[in-house]
């Protein structure tokens, strides 16, 4: 039986994270926003957080690093292919990994050379904010925390299941409800695209080097919102604008942020809105209330592109 800690010939799913880092020959660099997840138990659980009905035929990982999560995801791909062996309709599963550090990208291709040769793995060297995303059906990733917001909002509009590691504080803001202190622009925007939930909290000790903060795994299950917006870009911009004035009433927030939302006639929106709504604060409005107010603003406020 092949020793699973020894490299390219190993089976997938039980490579030792510390051994992977040693073979990579380069430690994670916190100055480059690199914190490698090294807790085997957490690594083993993460792929299973995808929704049961998720299409896992083409997984995407962002920030492969030394490959500890890559190894687990390849195990999931192989298991999926085994379950579907002989099915001529269903395409074989595969994994694409985006890694911006050239040393780690080269290591992933070497460490998982068999998977590359078998067509199971594709390693894309580049910044996840700049490269063209490959076609994917679901994404599982331990994101670089410094750009996690930008990456998340590149992924969410794709409408695919996501299982993503974030700083715990960021995760708590994603899942917060109206009226809670953590509720804000991030909450409304994320929940516009998906049902979001924290599925696991991860201590600092699960990483090497340890980050300064606790972390959390968030599952995003795409779904259509229970409201309609006629212009999604304006809706998101309007939410952003009002939350810059979160301590103000909605009345004053609308009046004060026309330069952000692009409203030429914010006073007309105030005149058209319900008085009870105008007396509330942005943090008390759930996403559907924001959507209704945004549609009112589009109708009466003469919005222009910003």
* Residue 223, SS3 per DSSP: coil
Altogether, the residues listed in the chain come to a count of: 306
Give residue for tokens 């480059």: 32
CA dist., res. 135 & res. 265, Å (int): 42
Q: Which residues contact 235 (CB under 8 A, 6 or more apart)?
A: 192, 229, 290, 291, 294
Which contiguous run of DSSP H or E holds residue 272? helix 266-272
CA dist., res. 77 & res. 97, Å (int): 13
CA dist., res. 121 & res. 108, Å (int): 10
CB half-sphere exposure, 201, CA atoms < 13 A: 7
Going by C-alpha positions, the residue among 125, 25, 40 that lies closest to residue 75 is 40
CA dist., res. 175 & res. 198, Å (int): 7
Residue positions in the annotated binding site?
35, 37, 63, 99, 127, 142
As a dihedral over the C-alpha atoms of residue 274, residue 278, residue 281, residue 287, rounded to 10 degrees, the angle is 30
Which contiguous run of DSSP H or E holds residue 277? helix 275-278
Backbone angles phi, psi at 247, to 5 degrees: -85, -10
Going by C-alpha positions, the residue among 96, 32, 23 that lies closest to residue 66 is 23
Residue positions in the annotated binding site for S-adenosyl-L-methionine?
35, 37, 63, 99, 127, 142
CA dist., res. 146 & res. 166, Å (int): 10
């Amino acid at each position: 039986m092949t020793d699973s800690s020894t490299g390219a010939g190993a089976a997938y799913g039980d490579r030792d994270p510390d051994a992977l880092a040693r073979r990579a020959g380069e430690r994670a660099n916190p100055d480059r926003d690199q914190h490698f997840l090294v807790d085997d138990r957490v690594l083993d659980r993460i792929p299973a957080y995808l929704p049961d009905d998720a299409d896992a035929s083409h997984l995407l990982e962002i920030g492969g690093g030394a490959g500890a999560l890559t190894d687990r995801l390849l195990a999931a791909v192989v298991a999926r292919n085994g379950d579907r062996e002989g099915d001529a309709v269903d395409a074989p599963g595969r994994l694409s990994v985006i890694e911006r550090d050239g040393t780690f990208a080269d290591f992933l291709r070497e460490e998982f050379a068999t998977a590359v040769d078998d067509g199971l793995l594709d390693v894309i060297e580049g910044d996840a904010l700049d490269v063209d995303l490959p076609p994917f059906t679901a994404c599982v990733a331990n994101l670089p925390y410094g750009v996690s917001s930008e990456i998340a909002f590149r992924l969410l509009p794709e409408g695919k299941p996501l299982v993503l590691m974030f700083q715990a504080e960021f995760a708590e803001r994603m899942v917060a409800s109206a009226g809670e202190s953590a509720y804000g622009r991030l909450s409304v925007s994320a929940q516009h695209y998906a049902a979001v939930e924290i599925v696991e909290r991860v201590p600092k000790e699960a990483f090497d080097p340890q980050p300064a903060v606790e972390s959390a795994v968030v599952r995003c299950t795409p779904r259509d919102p229970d409201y309609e917006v006629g212009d999604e870009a304006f809706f998101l911009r309007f939410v952003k604008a009002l939350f810059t004035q979160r301590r103000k009433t909605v009345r004053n927030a609308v009046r004060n942020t026309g330069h952000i939302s692009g409203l030429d006639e914010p006073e007309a929106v105030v005149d058209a809105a319900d008085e009870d709504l105008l007396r509330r604060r942005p943090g008390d409005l759930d996403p559907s209330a924001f959507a209704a107010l945004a549609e009112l603003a589009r109708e009466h406020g003469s919005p222009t592109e910003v």
